Amino acid sequence: MPVGTAGTVKGTRFEALESPELDARIILGNTYHLWLRPGIEIIKACGGLHRFSGWDRALLTDSGGFQVWSLGELRKITEAGTEFRSHVDGSLRFLSPEVSMEVQHALGSEIVMVFDECAPGQASSEDARRSMELTARWAKRSREAFDILQDSVVGRQGMAGETTVDERAAGKMPALPVELSGKQALFGIIQGAGHLDLRKESLRRTTDIGFDGYALGGLSVGEEKAVMWEVVGEVAPLMPTEKPRYLMGVGTPEDLIEGVSLGVDMFDCVLPTRNGRNGQAFTQLGKLNIKNARWAEDVRPLDESCHCSVCLRHARAYLRHLYLSGEMLASILLTHHNLAFFLDTMRRVRQSIRSGKFTQFRREFTDQLNSGIE
């Protein structure tokens, strides 16, 4: 899932994301950032995040818990919620399970995440338990607040993010895909840092509450990668098989393949867009740094096996020239290629699973990545 934190996937237009070349079916938005700017009242006045942004496909909104955690000393966590200073204007704000559910309800996202607390990757067992137990209590409060808000829309024609049937029929707004029914789904989040006993307890307590999907949070936040995969390998197979399994904030192409092999269904990460803006392209043969002098006269595409519009048109030498010249087009083109590579990789994963050849695909894909850029 491409990350669109503030209602935009940086460096690309929605038309590109919706094109057959990329065909992103869902993107992310973030409660914390959108709540602070432009503010939920503005988004509500514009009819919800779909209408405000012009994105007609599915949205998942993160609860803001991770962003509040990342503020460090700038926030104060209590049983009621989290008090913090806005990074936008310094104003004192308070975010709780109830507030997060209200904001995400107003945004009108198809998938809502419970409000959680993320323990540091190297947290002690004692600190991780405190955080996990708080997350479990907040999950219950999120569930209760979410259900009340969902009950309030029964009988209405959709959520705040949807246009009405009459508006669409009159051509005033673009048509929404049929799968956007107006009913939101709520995902629970499993915490516990790198402690397997806490992770399993968190899973039990979260599934006891009952959610539409389950996420592994608090990973890729400073712990050793081996710890992350130990947690995923132990916990993911225990997660309900009939519900989506979501690994939050992960990761590289290798991580996606490894996660799938362990039973994960959904991923998000800023790497395709962030690295693209910083001059790095992902390819079948590994990462390519466009700033390197070795590409100054190289007329080959970024990835000779890629059929995205960037690789079909532009050479490494030209992309390097754009980047070193400070042209914004460099970031746009590298971002487009990276998104195409990540989304195509996941299409190939799905195809290999359907054909019963995932193990072979995984081996060949990994071998290629490790072969290195020429």
Query: Among the options 56, 116, 255, 268, which is catalytic?
Result: 268
Residue 241's CB is within 10 A of a number of other CB atoms, namely 8
Q: How far apart are the first and last CA of the chain?
A: 29
Residue 140's CB is within 10 A of a number of other CB atoms, namely 16
CA distances to 243, 295, 311 from 277, rounded to whole Å, are: 35, 18, 17
List residues bridging with 289 in a β-sheet: 280
Continuous H helices in 46-188:
49-53, 65-70, 97-107, 125-151, 165-169
Residue 268 is a catalytic residue: yes
Q: How far apart, in whole angstroms, are the C-alpha atoms of residue 93 and residue 116?
A: 17
Q: Are 106 and 158 in contact (CB under 8 A)?
A: no
Structure-derived torsion over alpha carbons of residues 371, 303, 55, 44, reported in degrees to the nearest 10: 60
Q: How far apart, in whole angstroms, are the C-alpha atoms of residue 55 and residue 230?
A: 37
Q: How far apart, in whole angstroms, are the C-alpha atoms of residue 240 and residue 225?
A: 24
Give the closest residue to 188 by CA, choosing from 170, 203, 173, 175: 203
Query: Among the options 56, 62, 116, 255, which is catalytic?
Result: 62
Residue 62 is a catalytic residue: yes
The catalytic residues are: 62, 268
